Amino acid sequence: MGDRFAHQGKAQLQAVMNAQESGIDIYPVWNKSFREHSIVKSQPQDLRIEAESAVAALKWEGDFYVDADHIGLGTVDGFINGSNFYTLDVAEFVGQAPTPADIDLFIKTNQKYIGLLKIPGIDTPFEVSESMLRDFAGKFLVAIKGAKEIYHYIAAKKGENNFITEVSIDETELPQTPIDLFLILSMIAAEGIPAQTIAPKFTGRFNKGVDYVGDLVQFEQEFDQGLYVIAYAIEEFGLPDTLKLSVHSGSDKFSIYPIINKLIAKHDVGLHVKTAGTTWLEEVIGLAEAGGEALSIAKEVYAGAYDRFDELTAPYESVIDIDKSVLPTPQEVSTWDSDKYVHTLRHEQSNSEYNQNFRQLIHVGFKIAAEMGAAYREALKENEKIIAKNVTENIWKRHILPIFRR
């Protein structure tokens, strides 16, 4: 759960407590990336303070986590004290050439899989050759060695058993096949990384804050096979038995939630899912619902994002698809009442006024709110009740229940 402006921790945690009270065994992970901290001028420790404040206020007695989201060696130091969950981002290393000796060692380690590899639960065996292993090492080996370097740096500071490790390979150009995932897990194990979650790139588009775009049948097959691969890799490589799939940009992927729900029940396994940007959108919805000056602030956020479209969308180019031609102008939005703004932004696909292009632009427009400074933060405080209701209901009813309910 992400919270750009650190005001919704209690509302977020309430959704998790609703789940626990309903017999759904899940735990909160608050996350925020270095980039997000930089934009809103916060510090990593601020997220720890928010999490601990929410836990104390609601008397939460379970485990909770603070994720250093998508960190590398250049950004990890600020997250050492406050975080106990680290998403190791290796995308920058993918494709870098390993040494011949490292390639040879990888091939030797995986020699036994050359030929037809049968993974229990998957009907069709995978064909593995030495040349295939060599090519694969060329794509991913440096990346996983980079993850090892980050992991050991953190472990030296915090101790090996004092944090959760996730390896993220979702921000790569191409999705990973089941055999790719198996070999990546082989590398992770060989490098001594006790990964508890792995975030592969699935087929299809996981755009920020909107529904999945892709072939649902293919996604179901990939997810199902990925779970079989993880179970086999735990057994083969001695990886932690808590290892689970992680779905990044998981917010509002309503069409795949029934698939995920069915498959984690079928395999009797856990899941890590990120719904980070959703809370920021619910804040804007809450402000719009409140009307008056709060609605004016929501309109100002959109106007600023529209005017700075190229600047704000560029960092998210791979995870948004916005057709600018169907965006309303700021002048048009300035005439809207609360209902019109809310219906356009809220992710209710059955509502004819819903506009996913508008929603995606607001999603990447939090920099505009950050630049408002005290005016925006005061609006959050003044309208806390209506915003908190939106935040809790969104996470609880639209995310937790569809994914985890039995």
Predicted confidence (pLDDT) per residue in 221-260, tens digit: 999 999 999 999 999 999 999 999 999 989 999 999 999 9
3-state secondary structure string, 139-196?
Answer: HHHHHHHHHHHHHHHHHHHHCCCCCEEEEECCCCCCCCCHHHHHHHHHHHHHCCCCCC
Does residue 404 contact residue 261 with C-beta atoms inside 8 Å? Answer: yes
Mean of pLDDT values over 320-344: 98
Amino acid 354: pLDDT: 98
What is the H or E stretch that residue 117 is in?
A: strand 115-117
Does residue 388 contact residue 8 with C-beta atoms inside 8 Å? Answer: yes
Amino acid 172: pLDDT: 77
In a domain, 229, yes or no: yes
Q: Residue 275 — pLDDT band, cuts 50, 70, 90?
A: confident
pLDDT in tens, 183-206: 999 999 999 999 999 999 999 999
Alpha-carbon distance of 365 to 376, in angstroms, equals 13
Half-sphere exposure at residue 69, Cβ-oriented, CA atoms within 13 angstroms: 28
Does residue 189 contact residue 239 with C-beta atoms inside 8 Å? Answer: yes
Q: What is the DSSP string of 231-279?
A: HHHHHHH---TT-EEEETT-TT-TTTHHHHHHHHHHHT---EE--TTHH
Q: Are residues 177 and 84 in the same domain?
A: yes
Quote the crossing angle between the two packed helices 356-364 and 278-290, to the nearest 10°: 110
Give every CB contact of residue 261 below 8 A, 6+ residues apart in sequence: 402, 403, 404, 405
Q: Are residues 348 and 252 in the same domain?
A: no
Q: Are residues 200 and 301 in the same domain?
A: no
Does residue 252 contact residue 278 with C-beta atoms inside 8 Å? Answer: yes
Mean of pLDDT values over 384-392: 98
User: pTM of the predicted model, to two decimals?
Assistant: 0.95
Amino acid 55: pLDDT: 98
Q: Residue 96 — pLDDT band, cuts 50, 70, 90?
A: confident
Amino acid 93: pLDDT: 83
Amino acid 348: pLDDT: 97
DSSP letter at 123? Answer: S
The yes-or-no verdict on residue 95 having pLDDT over 80 is no
Q: Are residues 67 and 208 in the same domain?
A: yes
In a domain, 31, yes or no: yes
Amino acid 91: pLDDT: 73
Integer angstrom CA distances of residue 249 from 40, 107, 209: 20, 33, 7
Amino acid 318: pLDDT: 86
In 3D, which of 292, 276, 286 has the Cα closest to residue 384? Answer: 286
Q: Are residues 241 and 317 in the same domain?
A: no
The yes-or-no verdict on residue 10 having pLDDT over 80 is yes
Q: In degrees to the nearest 10, what's the CA dihedral of 350, 352, 356, 362? A: -110
Q: Residue 164 — pLDDT band, cuts 50, 70, 90?
A: very high
In 3D, which of 228, 240, 227 has the Cα closest to residue 188? Answer: 240
Q: Are residues 320 and 237 in the same domain?
A: no
Does residue 319 contact residue 207 with C-beta atoms inside 8 Å? Answer: yes
Amino acid 264: pLDDT: 98
The yes-or-no verdict on residue 302 having pLDDT over 80 is yes
The yes-or-no verdict on residue 173 having pLDDT over 90 is no
Mean pLDDT score of the chain: 96
In a domain, 352, yes or no: yes
In a domain, 2, yes or no: no
In a domain, 3, yes or no: no
Q: CATH number of the domain that 143 lies in? A: 3.20.20
Q: Are residues 168 and 210 in the same domain?
A: yes
Q: How many domains does the chain have?
A: 2
The token duo for 118 is 């049968």
In a domain, 251, yes or no: yes
In 3D, which of 220, 219, 226 has the Cα closest to residue 200? Answer: 226
Amino acid 132: pLDDT: 97
Q: Are residues 189 and 113 in the same domain?
A: yes
In a domain, 1, yes or no: no
Q: Are residues 37 and 175 in the same domain?
A: yes
Mean of pLDDT values over 124-153: 96
Q: Residue 170 — pLDDT band, cuts 50, 70, 90?
A: confident
Mean of pLDDT values over 134-144: 94
Amino acid 101: pLDDT: 97
Q: Are residues 98 and 246 in the same domain?
A: yes
Amino acid 363: pLDDT: 96
In a domain, 219, yes or no: yes
Q: Residue 159 — pLDDT band, cuts 50, 70, 90?
A: very high
The token duo for 247 is 């779905």
In 3D, which of 57, 60, 61, 53 has the Cα closest to residue 82? Answer: 53
The yes-or-no verdict on residue 92 having pLDDT over 90 is no
What is the domain range of residue 147?
9-277+397-404
Q: Are residues 337 and 292 in the same domain?
A: yes
Query: 81 — phi, psi (to 5°)?
Result: -75, -40
Q: Are residues 263 and 292 in the same domain?
A: no
- Residue 143's Cα: distance from chain center in Å? 19
